[in-house]
Amino acid sequence: MYSDQEESAVLDDYRLEMENRIRNLVWTVSGDYSLEVKPDVETFLRSRNIALYDGIKQGGLAKYFDRDALSMYLLKKIYCDAFRGPLMTVAQLCIEEAVGHKLDAEREGVRNIRRKACEDILELDFKELAATPLGHFKAALLREELDGSYEGTRKIQGWMEEIHRLREARDTMDVIRAVDSLYNQIVEPNFEKNKKTLDQVLAVTVEELAEFSWKDFLREDLEELREDTMETYLEKISEAMTSLDMNESRDQEEDKKQEGQKKKKILVVDEKALAQMYSYVEKNFGKSYLSPAEQKNLNYQFCRGIHGDCSLYCTEGILQNPVLRNYQYEYARKQKDKNIMAYYDQSRVVKRNIQVLTDMLRKALLLRSENQEILSDRGRIIPAALWKVGRSEDARLFKKEIKNDAMNFVVDVLIDASGSQRSRQGQVALQAFIISEALSNLDIPFRVTSFCTFWDYTILQKFRDYDDSRKKNGRIFEYMTSSNNRDGLAVKAVGSTLLQREEENKVLIILSDGKPYDVVVNRPNSRNPEPYRGRPAILDTGFEVRRLRQSGAAVLGVFVGEETELAAERKIFGKDFAYIRTIKNFSNVVGRYLLKQIEE
């Protein structure tokens, strides 16, 4: 007989042995011995076959697909109010279909382990599987694996046909699309209608995830909660998404907690969080180039009315002035590399656009710069007109030369950098770069700024200023999307400094998706304004555009969003907006508008 202390030591040794065995199994299958693995020994104690097969599948997932991208999608789906338990079950089944048969072809013996794991799950979890439609679907897949065929309801057969297509999956997005589709069909049929589409789920940014309190979703048995609770939760998802041993009943308590969170469409930030906001913004968007007094004055000047509880934050970006090299810094660096790669992939098209736009503007400016002669009462005398002296009241006996200042132009480029632009980051950066290079070729002063809204801060990131050298144009590839967008406030702030320029001709070009949207924060102890979205936001942005035009600036909206938002774009910009379908035609569309401004 063992004493309690000896029994505990034996059990610890056994657990350690099982952990090493599962870890080595994952590394062998994946071929990546640096892969971070957290073996599930509890499942091994429950069923050796299930634990071994889950370990094999972890290695297969890491080998064939992007495990991090898949777990990040699941985190975003949960953030968008999907139920964790059912979502994880759907993900586990899809991963099984995408990985299992590929492993069969490569490793003898995997199929036998999988069959034994399926038998154990049917035996251990039969009651839970019979309780829900998703359980029926899972049981059908398990029986099909064991018996070779299954005849069920028409719905289940349709789901099975869809999931079987994953056996040919070659890309992580194939798995993500299948998980999203099956979850929406089986668990929440109205998810896209009432919540978000897949594109909107994927557009959720790291900052939006960081705003959310993941502590409420973590298990109560965790003794300590690290500060980076989002990363903790992401790890939990990564660990769980390959385990066939997971079932809905074990996650009911977490889903009840999550149901409570669904009421929080607008996040409430307490006073302590408000005090930390500035520091958080500084760490994730870079230090501000304004002094505290200048920022206070800026907010006093522009944050009024519908923007009364908002703040402006001016920065050159996290890559230029980082507080520390955190996750956001690395993300920004990688996105810059992606934008540069987009340039190299389309370098011929981009260079052609730059040349076409430069030539169009140069010809117009040359015509504008030609001197004109007019009749005047002073200047160079016209001998043929001297007969008028004493005979006519027309005193215009002279010719006066008027010199046109063709370069009396200044341009501002304002770029929407909200999360809804995420899928178009590279293309939007290229469009801004084309404009910048063409204006640099003609020595026209211009500034490039992006905007997004995080909590109550509207972030204005300056890539280059009016009189900066051409070298600064490359900073435009640091363009990165995040969070929401309060278009009216950004147009108001940028337009005000544009109007202060001495140049006679002022042009503002706005690259946006035509959808102002900011509903993140409802601040305590304040006036709690209505969320900035829909008709009020469109009217506010349109008002700021018209106010600039009435003050003498020309404003062009370059639409880079979805066709469904075209109506909103028209309401904001009227007739002066361009819909850019492909970058190939970008220079012609924008060039024609700028020519119109030059010729007037």
Q: What is the pLDDT of residues 262-304, one digit of tens each?
A: 443 444 555 555 667 788 889 889 999 999 899 989 999 999 8
Number of H helices, E strands in the chain: 24, 12
Name the residue type at position 503. E
DSSP SS3 for 229: helix
| pLDDT at position 416 over 80 | yes
All residues at 6 or more sequence positions from 444 whose CB lies less than 8 Å from its CB, including other chains: 407, 409, 410, 411
What order do you get walking across the sheet with 398-402 strand by strand? 372-376, 398-402, 380-381
Give 589-600 pLDDT, tens digit per residue. 888 887 777 666
pLDDT digits (tens, 9 = 90+) for 559-589: 876 777 778 888 899 888 788 777 777 888 8
Q: In sequence order, what DSSP letters do the residues of 95-140 get, joined into one string?
A: HHHHHHHHHHHHSTTHHHHHHHHHHHHHHHSHHHHTTSHHHHHHHH
Q: What is the DSSP string of 290-346?
A: S-HHHHHHHHHHH--GGGTT-EEEEES-TTTS-SS--HHHHHHHHHHHHHHHHHHHT
Q: For Cα atoms 232, 522, 291, give the angle at the middle one, nearest 5 degrees.
A: 85
Q: Is the pLDDT of residue 53 over 90?
A: no
**pLDDT confidence of residue 49:** 61
Q: What is the pLDDT of residue 345?
A: 92
pLDDT top residue among 217 and 161: 161
**Torsion sign across C-alpha atoms 91, 94, 100, 103:** negative
What whole-number distance in Å separates Cα of residue 95 and Cα of residue 101? 11
Give the separation between CA 436 and CA 412, rounded to whole angstroms. Answer: 10
The pair of structure tokens assigned to 51 is 């634990």
Ranked by mean pLDDT, the top range of 230-244, 296-310, 359-373 is: 296-310
Dist CA 181 CA 166 (whole Å): 12
Question: What does the pLDDT average to over 222-235?
Answer: 49
**Is residue 462 scored above 90 in pLDDT?**
yes
DSSP H helices in 447-585: 487-499, 534-550, 566-573
Cβ pair 524, 268 in contact under 8 A: yes
Cα gap 303→294, rounded to integer Å: 14
CA-based torsion, 419, 420, 422, 427: positive or negative: negative
pLDDT single digits (tens) 12-46: 554 555 556 555 555 555 454 454 545 554 554 45
Check residue 404 and give its pLDDT. Answer: 52
Q: What is residue 207's predicted lDDT score, i.e. its pLDDT?
A: 65
How many C-alpha atoms does 46 have within 13 Å on its Cβ side?
A: 17
* Mean pLDDT of the residues in the chain: 77
Please state the rounded mean pLDDT for residues 118-146. Answer: 73
pLDDT tens-place string over residues 147-177? 766 666 788 888 888 888 888 888 889 989 9
Q: What percent of the chain has pLDDT over 70?
A: 68
What are the structure tokens assigned to 391, written together?
């005979």
Distance separating alpha carbons of residues 259 and 85, to the nearest angstrom: 12
Mean pLDDT for the stretch of residues 438-467: 93
Mean pLDDT of all residues in 498-518: 90
Please report, for residues 226, 374, 472, the alpha-carbon distance to residue 251 in angstroms, rounded to integers and kept in the order given: 22, 85, 52
Question: Around Cβ 141, how many Cβ atoms within 10 Å?
Answer: 20
* CA-to-CA separations, 288 to 105, 295, 343, 362, 452, in angstroms, rounded: 56, 9, 28, 36, 15
Q: Taking each helix axis from N to C terminus, what angle separates 327-345 and 347-369, rounded to the nearest 10 degrees?
A: 80
What percent of the chain has a predicted confidence (pLDDT) above 90? Answer: 27
What is the SS3 assignment for 54? Answer: helix
Kindly report the number of other CB atoms within 10 A of residue 325's CB atom: 10
385 contacts: CB under 8 Å, gap ≥ 6: 396, 397
How is residue 162 written in tokens?
A: 């869809």
- pLDDT at res. 391: 74
What is the Cα–Cα distance from 198 to 336, expressed in whole angstroms? 24
- How far from 145 is each of 138, 150, 245, CA to CA, in Å? 11, 9, 16
Q: How far is CA 134 from CA 91, 94, 104, 212, in A?
A: 12, 13, 26, 28
Nearest to 74 by CA among 228, 204, 227, 269: 204
Ramachandran area for residue 455 (φ above 0: left; ψ -120 to 50: alpha; else beta): left
The amino acid at residue 295 is Q
- Better pLDDT: 133 or 229: 133
